[in-house]
Structure 1
Amino acid sequence: MHPTSATQVLAGISVPRTPPVERALDYAHERCEPYLFNHVVRSWLFAERIGQLQMIEHDAEVLAVGTLLHDITLDERFAGPRRFEVEAADLARSFAQEAGFDKHRAQQVWDCVALNSTPSIALYKEAEVSLCTTGICLDVVGLQYSAIPSSEMKAILTEFPRLGMKKRMTLCFCHIAATMPETTHDNFVRDFGERLVPGYKVGASSVDLVANAPFDD
């Protein structure tokens, strides 16, 4: 773990307690609905605990800020214009810079947020990005569920309950697919649009983009 000046225990998990982390917790609490706030905190706890259990050296402040702020644009009012992950990543990077992170650490926060829903890339990046994505994917789809001891899993879910997350999150994804399909052509929200949103049409596919490139061959 990257050295920090203080730690705290949440749901039995030791995590950093520094001004940037405390501000990120407050910021997420202000911006997120209760179910979503609990999701980002659980994701952080899962990510940090997996890093501890697997003895993965990482910057615990970067991991905390990136994970806690990864969904600050995910709500039914989101209006783009870019992918919700990118919009959130820009906000999170600005937050990190204002909190005193240097350029490299602030960019790591951006990567944590922007890539969290693209595990086929994020899991192979730096430890902070990989752990962030692992914790989030554990909470959303159960990735590495067995990596967290059952007693610790129970404690985390008790202190930060899911509050109908599957249904609430699905509504957010469907809202994005229905109102901003152009932001979904190359990400997982497309799956929700195709399955659950009547009349969903994403526009040009990657096949069209390659075929229509302005070159002779």
Structure 2
Amino acid sequence: MELTTSKTPPSLPCLACSFVTSSVKATLIRTARFVKREHVQYVAKEVYHVPDSINCKKALNMVAKCSPDFLLNHCLRSYAFGIAMSHKVKKPIDKEIYFLGAIMHDLGLITAYDIGGTFELDGAQAARSFCRGRNISQEKADLVHEIVAHHNSVGIAHKKDPEVALLHFAAGLDVAGLWLNDIHPKTLSEVIDEFPRLEFKKGMKTLLEDQVKRKPDSYMRPFLKLGFLKKIDDTPF
């Protein structure tokens, strides 16, 4: 697997087009479900529990020690939401690898892992190093890298490995309320109860503003120019 080592920020027109296209697709899917009388299935807590492996426990412990609580809970919700929306991908996922990518996907927003690049690539390097340091195979460590590197890659992530796509969907749901119709309301409520938001909107906006202020080439810069912070504020939970 070729690792992503650079990301060119999308132009404002391309980014706006991607958001519009995504919204249209979501509407078509919602309409098709209504016509066919299909419903998104409820997913119980035991389905998205943390995988019972030493590597997952160590990753969770590491992130818990270095992250503010609101960010840790965001990562845990992103894991749970992804598992609950696994119907959006066509292939089965490796739950352990998906958890490692989900729990570490925002490491680049933490001072200890911020090495000056766009945060998702800084985090991807840190996550891959964690995996290789614990004898996880290169292939799986590379996949964790890509999960983290592309979790915010609009128009790209959904075309990649199912684990990459799922974290993109899940983080988008938690941060900006995207793909709400792809998760059962009861599942959504239970995940939030399990991992409270803890003023997440305020904390995430502060972190993103800081990234863009300090890093002119940040991948998130055009997102903020397009009003992404307001999108965070408007998230209905």
Give CA-to-partner distance per residue, 1:129-173, whole Å, 9 cap, x none: 111211111111222212221111111111211112122111111
Partner letter of residue 221 of structure 2? V
Residue 174 of structure 1 pairs with residue 209 of structure 2 = yes
Structure 1 CA distance for aligned equivalents of residues 220 and 57 of structure 2: 31
Partner of 1:188: 220
1-structure distance, mates of 2:117, 2:156: 19
Aligned partner of 1:57 in structure 2 is 92
Q: Distance in 2 between matches of 1:96 and 1:116?
A: 18
2:83 aligned partner, one-letter code: E
Change in Cα spacing, 1:38 to 1:195, as seen in structure 2 (3 Å) is same
Change (3 A) 1:192 1:75: farther
Query: Which one-letter code corresponds to 1:28 in the other structure?
Result: V
Q: Name the structure where helix makes up a greater proportion of residues.
A: 2
1:108 to partner: Cα distance: 0.4
Q: Which residue of 2 aligns with 1:101?
A: 136
Counterpart amino acid of residue 66 in structure 1: G
Residue in 1 aligned with 2:40? none
Q: Which residue of 2 aligns with 1:40?
A: 75
Root-mean-square deviation over aligned CA pairs? 2.5
Find the counterpart in structure 2 of residue 123 from structure 1.
Answer: 158
| Larger RCO: 1 or 2 (CA < 8 Å, sep 6+) | 2
Deviation of 1:113 (Å) = 0.4
- Deviation track 1:110-139 (CA, whole Å, cap 9, x = no partner) reads 000011111311111011111121111111
- Pick closer, same or farther for the CA change 1:39–1:194 going to 2, 3 Å: same
What is the deviation of 1:54?
Answer: 6.4
Shift of 1:53: 8.0
Q: Does residue 14 of structure 1 match 2:48? A: yes
Q: Which runs of 5+ in 2 are unaligned?
A: 1-43, 229-237
Secondary structure of 1:120's aligned partner: coil
Q: TM-score, with normalisation over the residues of structure 1?
A: 0.76
Q: What is the rounded CA distance, in whole Å, between the counterparts of 2:141 and 2:149 in structure 1? A: 12
Write the letter of the residue equivalent to 1:14: Y
Structure 1: distance between partners of 2:194 and 2:202:
20
User: Which is further off, 84-93 or 11-20?
Assistant: 11-20
**Matched residue count:** 185
Structure-1 residue corresponding to 2:103:
68
